[in-house]
Amino acid sequence: MKIYIDGKYYSEQNAKISVFDHGLLYGDGIFEGIRAYNGRVFKLKEHIDRLFYSAKALLLDIPISHAAMMKAVVDTCRQNKLRDGYIRLVVTRGIGTLGLNPNRCKKPSVIIIAGKIQLYPEEYYKQGLTIITVPTVRNLHSALNPAIKSLNYLNNILAKIEANNGGVEEAIMLNAEGFVSECTGDNIFIVKGNQLMTPPLSAGALYGITRQVVIDLARESGLTISEPNLTRYDLFNADECFLTGTGAELIPVVKIDGRIVGTGKPGTVTKQLVSQYRALTNGSGEPIYG
Ligand code: PXG
- Phi (first) and psi of residue 286, to 5 degrees: -75, 115
Mean pLDDT of 93-100: 96
Q: Is the pLDDT of residue 114 over 90?
A: yes
Domains of the chain: 2-115 (3.30.470.10), 122-282 (3.20.10.10)
Whether 149 is catalytic is yes
Confidence of residue 261 (pLDDT cuts 50, 70, 90): very high
User: What separation in Å is there between the alpha carbon of 156 and the centre of ligand 1?
Assistant: 11
Residue 241 vs residue 283, higher pLDDT: 241
Q: For ligand 1, pick from 187, 207, 281 the residue to mutate: most ligand atoms within 8 Å of CB.
A: 187
pLDDT single digits (tens) 139-149: 999 999 999 99
Bridge partners of residue 224, in order along the sequence: 195
Nearest to 106 by CA among 5, 216, 22: 22
Mean pLDDT of the chain: 97
User: What separation in Å is there between the alpha carbon of 236 and the centre of ligand 1?
Assistant: 24
**Number of other CB atoms surrounding residue 284 within 10 Å:** 14
User: What separation in Å is there between the alpha carbon of 97 and the centre of ligand 1?
Assistant: 30
Q: For ligand 1, pick from 111, 183, 198, 246 the residue to mutate: most ligand atoms within 8 Å of CB.
A: 246
CA distance to 129, 202, 251, per residue, from 121 (Å): 10, 32, 11
Q: For ligand 1, pick from 119, 160, 206 the residue to mutate: most ligand atoms within 8 Å of CB.
A: 206
Confidence of residue 95 (pLDDT cuts 50, 70, 90): very high
User: What separation in Å is there between the alpha carbon of 251 and the centre of ligand 1?
Assistant: 13
Q: Which residues, at least 6 apart from 155, have a Cβ–Cβ distance to it below 8 Å?
A: 136, 138, 139, 144, 173
Pocket residues: Cβ below 6 A from ligand 1: 33, 156, 182, 185-187, 206, 208-211, 244-247
Atom 5 of ligand 1, nearest CA residue = 185
User: What separation in Å is there between the alpha carbon of 185 and the centre of ligand 1?
Assistant: 4
User: What separation in Å is there between the alpha carbon of 207 and the centre of ligand 1?
Assistant: 10
Q: Is the pLDDT of residue 8 over 90?
A: yes
Atom 16 of ligand 1, nearest CA residue = 33
Q: Is the pLDDT of residue 77 over 90?
A: yes
Rounded Cα distance, 188 and 241, in Å? 7
**pLDDT score for 90:** 98
Rounded Cα distance, 223 and 86, in Å? 30
Measured from the CA of 146, which atom of ligand 1 is nearest?
3
Atom 2 of ligand 1, nearest CA residue = 185
DSSP 87-120: EEEEEE--B--SSS-GGG----EEEEEEE---PP
Q: Is the pLDDT of residue 118 over 90?
A: no
Atom 22 of ligand 1, nearest CA residue = 33
E strands, the chain, where? 2-5, 8-11, 29-37, 40-41, 85-92, 109-115, 129-133, 171-174, 180-183, 187-192, 195-197, 224-226, 240-245, 249-256, 259-260, 286-287
Buried b (16+ CB within 10 A) or exposed e, 197-212: bbbebebbbbbbbbbe
pLDDT single digits (tens) 171-222: 999 999 999 999 999 999 999 999 999 999 999 999 999 999 999 999 999 9
Nearest to 83 by CA among 43, 50, 42, 120: 42
Mean pLDDT of 57-73: 98
Catalytic residue (choose from 8, 81, 126, 149): 149
